[in-house]
Structure 1
Amino acid sequence: MKIALLAHLKFPIVQPYPGGLEMHTHLLAGALRRHGHAVTLFASDGSDPALAPVCVCPPTGDGLGDPLRHAAIARAEQAAYVRIMDAVTADGFDLVHNNSLHDLPLRLSGALSIPMVTALHTPPFASLEAGVRAAAPGMVFAAVSKHTAEAWRGIVPAPVVIGNGVELTVFVHRPVPDPVPYVFWSGRIVPEKGLHLAIDAARAAGLPLHFAGPRPDPAYWAAWIAPRLGPDLTDLGHLGHAALARHLGGARAALVTPCWEEPFGLVVAEALACGTPVAGFRRGALPDILDASCGALGRPDDVASLAEAVAQAVRLDRRACRDRAEALFDADAMTAGYEALYDAALEAFHRMRIAPAPRLRRVVAAQA
């Protein structure tokens, strides 16, 4: 197929990844190409040239705490997605895969002469929910976890659950961790990821903590992380995947501490692929993707409960962790899931074009 893959525009699609969505988009683009598809990635400037992206604007960022910046971001993204949808309409694609989290591609999907598949990577929020409600009839949706599918259930009755994958050849199995014990945390260093709670729990469990990730929120770092720094913490900075896999694989356990309803949690899949058990909060999708063979979950936001989970996790079998990753998080299996979804979307779109339902006829007539 000739596929248009729409990224979000806040950060470039390149390593080291600012977050899980950038990693997923990069991985999917490469995997689809390896499966023989012609993929055009629409993304922001600075995205990986190996993907030959169509770069439509500078990265817009997230405008943390700045209303004027938020307004400027909204204008820039609106204009960029208009250009993207114009290019999609003109370029003879077979299908659009929408990873953007923006409402405009959904609102304009009814004007396309090809199907669009939209992946739901977050719980509902106002603008995305409005876009989903305005999408073309017959839009096909995927959700990255059962938890995320359930969060959208009242709006999207039956999204297909396709879990995120990781490159098992990069996140390789480490049967034996590093000889000097430590636990590991990675992610964006922002309040909703809860690094401060991971620090407190690691100390309560009596283990050094190594952590890695970008720092997009200086205020959170200054107020919550800097005062906790000490000799039992190692700040590794923002790591690419090879280094991330090395540090994950050497850990006795990975700490995953979401302070929100985490829709998936790629670090869980990455850790298990390395054979590293997970200790986390029982929140969001974590109970979907972990079981007792490879992880232990504590009460949300409860440091003492998480410390108990760490003590359980470090005793778990590392081979069982890798087995679960191979069963659930293989990037090729994820890609095959999306390919099946594309086939279903093309078939459904073709049926609607041949014999549109009465409701669709009324919508078309009203728009005319």
Structure 2
Amino acid sequence: MAKAVLQPVVKLFSNAHILPMKIAQIAPLVEACPPRQYGGTERVVAYLSDELVRQGHDVTLFASGDSSTAARLVSCAPRALRTDPSVRDILPYHVMMLDEVCRRADDFDVLHFHTDLLHFPMARSFSDRTVTTLHGRLDLPDLWPFYSAFADMPLVSISLGQRDPMPPVCWLGNVYHGLPERLLPFHAAGRGGYLAFLGRISPEKRPDRAIRIAVQSGLPLKIAAKIDRVDRAYWEADIAPLVSRHANIEYLGEIGEREKTRFLGGARALLFPIDWPEPFGLAMIEAMACGTPVIAFRCGSVPEVIDDGVNGFVVDSVDEAVAAVGRIGEIDRRAVRRAFLARFSAERMAHDYLALYGRLRGPSPDGCPHPDRSAQADAGLQVAA
């Protein structure tokens, strides 16, 4: 791998004034922290927990027993539920974990939940010490009455676009995901010469668009993606025939962290042709960490993550994406890496969360502790003043 000297990044964040805290991180049990292969939420929880420990805080991670962490691990299932063939229903395991968390709640200054809505009734009595990061899509109709009923629970979004469908709730802040700076090293050139698709084979991720873009561009496409059981029929009916039809399309299957460095670093560009309100899109910043530009469709968080013409291109059609492939040489891969370091490091993510933890000082008259009233904050540090 060719190496290049990057310009130093000036870091504008410091938590020197924040005293050490006792923090509980509560992760889903579907994947290990971090996942061995595909997985977003548990990956973010793992990186956040380790970075908080690195910054001097006492962190307890409630997660599956096969997790790897610098924090104190409380095993709430022997191993990631997705990898356990004996598990048929994940709900009982999560309820048992949340019961354990509630019994230990007084041990912590802050309890940070990543379990979406499941814990709300249990945690209401100590909600002034909780933060809940919502990792999923929020445009489903059944969520409106639920979040209206729990409008005082302190919430964190992972993009401002994620908030759009929600009723008035207690937004404590917005924190973009981050990765450890050394996790995915910089590649000065995408020497593989191919386009990459990373994630899941599912209709909303639009691998069919990625294939069309590659075919029209005349470039190879490597697809590294898992296929969930619910998407097996979609793969067999719609995507597998396209892969078979075109010699320049290669399906690699699901890959892990070790393979990801070579896969993303060797790519000329990452295709992110989504067709749904993506809450964040971790694959985009994974590519950026390698210096690989991203060509992404204008949905969900994409305009907040991709600075058009700097770390990739934001497009509205397959034709525009094909044109962007032709312009990919205009993107400076060093600038892509610099954008990652400045905006999407685990250090910055932990700083933002610590700022939010420090604002949990009991409810204000409207029931929300120091709410984030500005949904128009700059797309750099997303913690409201």
1:279 aligns with 2:292: no
Distance (whole Å) between structure 1 residues aligned to residue 101 and residue 171 of structure 2: 26
Name the residue aligned to 2:234: 220
Name the residue aligned to 1:33: 53
- Distance change >3 Å, CA 110–CA 325, structure 1 → 2: same
Name the residue aligned to 1:155: 168
1:325 aligns with 2:369: no
Amino acid of the residue matched to residue 155 of structure 1? P
Name the residue aligned to 1:53: 73
Amino acid of the residue matched to residue 173 of structure 2? V
Amino acid of the residue matched to residue 61 of structure 2? L
Q: Measure how far apart 1:306 and its partner are.
A: 2.3
Name the residue aligned to 1:260: 276
Deviation readout 1:119-141 (Å, 9 max, x if unpaired): 1222324666555444484x432
Q: Measure how far apart 1:252 and its partner are.
A: 1.0
Contact 2:102 2:123 in 1 (8 A): no
Provide structure 2 residue ranges, at least 5 long, that are not aligned to the other structure: 1-20, 369-385
Provide structure 1 residue ranges, at least 5 long, that are not aligned to the other structure: 63-68, 361-368
- Distance change >3 Å, CA 113–CA 203, structure 1 → 2: closer
Q: Measure how far apart 1:256 and its partner are.
A: 0.6
SS of 2:241 mapped into structure 1: helix
Distance (whole Å) between structure 1 residues aligned to residue 329 and residue 75 of structure 2: 44
Name the residue aligned to 2:130: 116
Name the residue aligned to 1:19: 39
- Aligned counterpart in structure 2 of residue 80 of structure 1, from 77, 96, 113: 96
Distance (whole Å) between structure 1 residues aligned to residue 47 and residue 143 of structure 2: 23
- Distance change >3 Å, CA 53–CA 127, structure 1 → 2: farther
1:243 aligns with 2:259: yes
Name the residue aligned to 2:14: none
Contact 2:154 2:171 in 1 (8 A): no
Distance (whole Å) between structure 1 residues aligned to residue 146 and residue 58 of structure 2: 27
Contact 2:294 2:312 in 1 (8 A): yes
Name the residue aligned to 2:349: 334
Distance (whole Å) between structure 2 residues aligned to residue 248 and residue 358 of structure 1: 46
Return the structure number with greater relative CO, CA threshold 8 A, min gap 6.
2
- Aligned counterpart in structure 2 of residue 172 of structure 1, from 182, 185, 188: 185
Name the residue aligned to 2:377: none
- Aligned counterpart in structure 1 of residue 107 of structure 2, from 73, 85, 92: 92
1:43 aligns with 2:63: yes
Q: Measure how far apart 1:49 and its partner are.
A: 6.4
Name the residue aligned to 2:24: 4
Alpha-carbon RMSD across the aligned residues, in angstroms, is: 2.7
Q: Greater helix share, 1 or 2?
A: 1
Name the residue aligned to 1:190: 202
Contact 2:38 2:256 in 1 (8 A): no
Contact 1:42 1:84 in 2 (8 A): no
TM-score normalised by structure 1 residue count: 0.82
Distance (whole Å) between structure 2 residues aligned to residue 306 and residue 243 of structure 1: 26
- Distance change >3 Å, CA 117–CA 49, structure 1 → 2: closer
- Distance change >3 Å, CA 359–CA 200, structure 1 → 2: closer
Amino acid of the residue matched to residue 209 of structure 1? L
Distance (whole Å) between structure 2 residues aligned to residue 32 and residue 271 of structure 1: 24
Distance (whole Å) between structure 2 residues aligned to residue 49 and residue 33 of structure 1: 10
Distance (whole Å) between structure 1 residues aligned to residue 59 and residue 294 of structure 2: 34
Distance (whole Å) between structure 2 residues aligned to residue 188 and residue 310 of structure 1: 22
Matches of residues 124-135 of structure 1 in structure 2 within 5 Å?
A: 124=138, 125=140, 132-135=147-150
Paired residues, number: 337
Distance (whole Å) between structure 1 residues aligned to residue 150 and residue 254 of structure 2: 37
